[in-house]
Structure formats: C-alpha cells, structure tokens
C-alpha cells in the first residue's frame, strides 16, 4: 500500500490525516513516481481550510501540487522517460504521498545538479512568477515592484526579472533584506511609509508591479506608483482585483488563466531546473518535515513561522 495525506472535512491543520491508499497504477500517458519530497504551498492550506473554495468533498481529498521523486512504472504510450529517472512534478493533486500516478505533461526531468527538495519547490512558485511577469511584459528597462519579494513566489519573480534586465524593488521584513539583495533585488520594508521608501529606492519611478502579499497596503502602493493599471497584477486578491482596475492571475480570480498563461506556468518548470543547474537561480529551502507532519507544515506556513520552502519527506 502507498500512504497519502487526505482530509474529509475543511478546517484547521488537524483535519489532515496520513492514511494507506492503494498503490497507484500508471494509466496511458502516465508514470508512477515514488515521491521523495513534496513542496508545501500556501494554496494547500487555503484549500484545506476553505479560504479558497472548491466543490464539496465527496471522497477523501488528497493534498499538494508540487513534488519530486523517481519513476517506478511507465504507462502505455510513454516515451522519452524511463524507470529510475528523477523528475519534478507540477500541477498534480496529491503529491503529499509516498507514490503518485502523474501525467507526463506534469513532469520535468531533474538534472543531477538539482536536489530533490529543490525540484519539489519549483512548480507553483516559479510557474506563477514566470507567468505573471510574462503576462505583465516585464523587460529590460522596467522597474518592477514585487510585494512579498522574500516569499517563494516573490523570490522567483525577483530572479526572473533581474535575469531579463529589469531593476527590481522588493518588499520584505528587515531580517529578510539580505536574502532579497542576494538575488539582485533592492529590498524595502513593508509597513507604514512604504510608498516613500519605494520612491527613494526607485527615483526614476516604477513601471510595473506584482503583488504577492495581498495586503491593502500593497494594492494602494502599486496604484499610487504605477501609471498603467494593465501593468499591475495581484496573485492573492483575485476576488476584488477588478474593483481596483488591476489584473489578477488565479488567487481566487473569477477570470481563468488563458491557455497561453497556463503554458507559461508549465514551461517555467524545465526552464527553472536549467537555471538552477547553471547556477543562475536559487531556491531557498526551509524545514524538511516527515510526511506524517503535514499538519505542522501547514501551521508553519499559515503563521509565516519558517523561512524558505517547506518540504515533506515520506
């Protein structure tokens, strides 16, 4: 039997349970991956608690979208991958588990220079950052403001934008400024006086903004500093982004991602693996917890009580 984290009701982290589940079988176009690490993302906790509503739970709901591990079984029609290959998994429900059947379109091969924990930390953070910056047409000559630049998505956004030649100002708490600086961003503290601090850090102005914080302050600051509202986006305030006249990419937005945007999210995974391998992109890793401690991982992420990406290890 495999083991997986499930929940049958919405609620606090203690609704998560580790249970035995049938061993997965690879269907056509799928492989079975023995999971060695699952990345923990805020959306996992939001869906568990019901903050981001889903259709009612009709059978035990599996958790987790990002992961990494080793292929143990190939389904019909799978070519170009083999048993024993290391892969990163993205956009596949149920990665908090010991094994999972995954469509090959949701896999990217992991190179030797990329650790399993790094591989499990790429899908949602790098995918969201890359797609958001592509959608906002971030390019050389831009000055980008990233709210929550010290978080997983924010750090990815800082790095992509710097690689593309933009100047990046990123908000973070003061103890996280060195981390933002190490990635090439100009850190500013969030909180009272943010607008003045950003103006000081970017005297020539801000041309584009990405909100990964979701606070009123972040929205207000972007509206004040960026002239073109088409170049302001949030990944958190989807439900009310339209009220501010700004864009939203998921995050509860009633407007779904376009096929092109979904394509960018997938494309980001192998691209990020290559950047890590080349030493041009960093993933900040946080605590590694046993799979059985998924509830504790959710407490940590909800309370912002750990720096770096938390991964669960079966």
Q: Does 64 bind ligand NAP (CB under 6 A)?
A: no
**For residue 148, which phi and psi values (nearest 5 degrees)?**
65, 50
First to last CA, the chain: 13
Residue 58 CB, shortest distance to ligand NAP, in Å, is: 25
In order of 21, 23, 192, 197, 295, the CA distances from 18 in angstroms are 10, 15, 43, 46, 10
Residues 146-205 contacting ligand NAP, CB under 6 A = 147-148, 150-154, 171-173, 176, 190
Quote the least distance from Cβ 150 to ligand NAP, whole Å.
Answer: 4
**What span, in angstroms and rounded, lies between the C-alpha atoms of 160 and 134?**
10
Of 31 and 152, the one with the shorter C-beta distance to ligand NAP is: 152
Q: What is the CA radius of gyration of the chain?
A: 19
Interface residue with ligand NAP among 24, 42, 94, 314 (CB under 6 A) is 42
The residue at minimum Cβ distance from ligand NAP is 151
Let me know how long the chain is. 314
Query: Quick one: 16 exposed, middle or buried, by C-beta within 10 A (0-12, 13-18, 19+)?
Result: buried
| From candidates 18, 198, 236, 300, binder to ligand NAP by CB under 6 A | 236
**Smallest distance from ligand NAP to CB 41, Å:** 6
Report the C-alpha gap between 49 and 9 in whole angstroms.
9
304 binds ligand NAP (CB under 6 A): yes
Stretch that binds ligand NAP, among 31-39, 82-90, 248-256, 291-299 (CB under 6 A): 248-256
Instruction: Assess 73 for contact with ligand NAP (CB under 6 A).
Output: no
Q: Using the rule CB under 6 A, which residue among 159, 250, 266, 272 binds ligand NAP?
A: 250
Of 7, 214, 266, 289, the residue at the interface with ligand NAP (CB under 6 A) is 214
Of 121 and 143, CB closest to ligand NAP: 121
Please, what's the b/e burial string for 73-107 (b: 16 or more CB within 10 A of its CB; e: otherwise)?
bbbeebeeeeeebbbbbbbbebbbbbbbbbbbebb
Lookup result for tokens 């499990």: 120
13 binds ligand NAP (CB under 6 A): no
- C-beta of 249 vs 264, nearer to ligand NAP: 249
Size of interface with ligand NAP, in residues (CB under 6 A): 31
Residue written as tokens 């590694």? 288
Distance of CA 234 to the CA centre of its chain: 14
Only segment of 21-29, 37-45, 62-70, 275-283 that touches ligand NAP (CB under 6 A) = 37-45
Closest distance to ligand NAP from the beta carbon of 48 (Å) = 12
Q: Which distant-in-sequence residues (6+ apart) come within 8 Å of 144 by Cβ?
A: 133, 138, 157, 161, 166, 167, 168, 169, 206, 207, 208, 209, 210
The footprint of ligand NAP on residues 108-127 (CB under 6 A) is 124-125
Residue from 37, 43, 87, 133 in contact with ligand NAP (CB under 6 A): 43
Binding site for ligand NAP (CB under 6 A): 41-43, 46, 124-125, 128, 147-148, 150-154, 171-173, 176, 190, 212-215, 218, 235-236, 249-251, 301, 304
């Amino acid at each position: 039997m495999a083991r997986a984290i499930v929940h049958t009701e919405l609620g606090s982290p203690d609704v998560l349970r580790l249970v035995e589940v049938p061993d997965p079988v690879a269907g056509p176009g799928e492989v079975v991956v023995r999971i060695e690490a699952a990345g923990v993302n805020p959306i996992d906790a939001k869906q568990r608690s019901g903050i981001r509503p889903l259709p009612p739970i009709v059978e035990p709901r599996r958790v987790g979208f990002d992961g990494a591990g080793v292929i143990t079984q190939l389904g019909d029609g799978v070519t170009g991958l083999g048993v024993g290959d290391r892969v990163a998994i993205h956009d596949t429900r149920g990665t908090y588990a010991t094994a999972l059947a995954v469509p090959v379109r949701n896999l990217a091969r992991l190179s030797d220079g990329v650790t399993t924990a790094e591989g499990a930390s790429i899908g949602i953070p790098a995918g969201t950052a890359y797609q958001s910056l592509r959608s906002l047409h971030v390019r050389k000559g831009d000055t980008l403001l990233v709210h929550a630049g010290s978080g997983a998505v924010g750090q990815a956004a800082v790095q992509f934008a710097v690689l593309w030649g933009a100047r990046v100002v990123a908000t973070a708490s003061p103890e996280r400024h060195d981390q933002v600086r190490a990635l090439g961003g100009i850190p500013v503290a969030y909180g009272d006086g943010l607008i003045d601090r950003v103006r000081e850090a970017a005297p020539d102005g801000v041309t584009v903004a990405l909100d990964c914080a979701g606070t009123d302050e972040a929205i207000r600051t972007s509206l004040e500093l960026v002239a073109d509202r088409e170049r302001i986006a949030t990944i958190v305030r989807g439900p009310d982004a339209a009220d501010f006249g700004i864009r939203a990419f998921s995050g509860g937005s009633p407007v779904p991602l376009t096929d092109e945007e979904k394509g960018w999210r997938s494309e980001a995974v192998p691209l990020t693996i290559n950047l890590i391998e080349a030493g041009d992109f960093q993933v900040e890793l946080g605590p590694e917890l046993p799979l059985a401690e998924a509830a504790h991982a959710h407490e940590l992420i909800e309370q912002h009580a750990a720096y770096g990406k938390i991964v669960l290890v079966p």
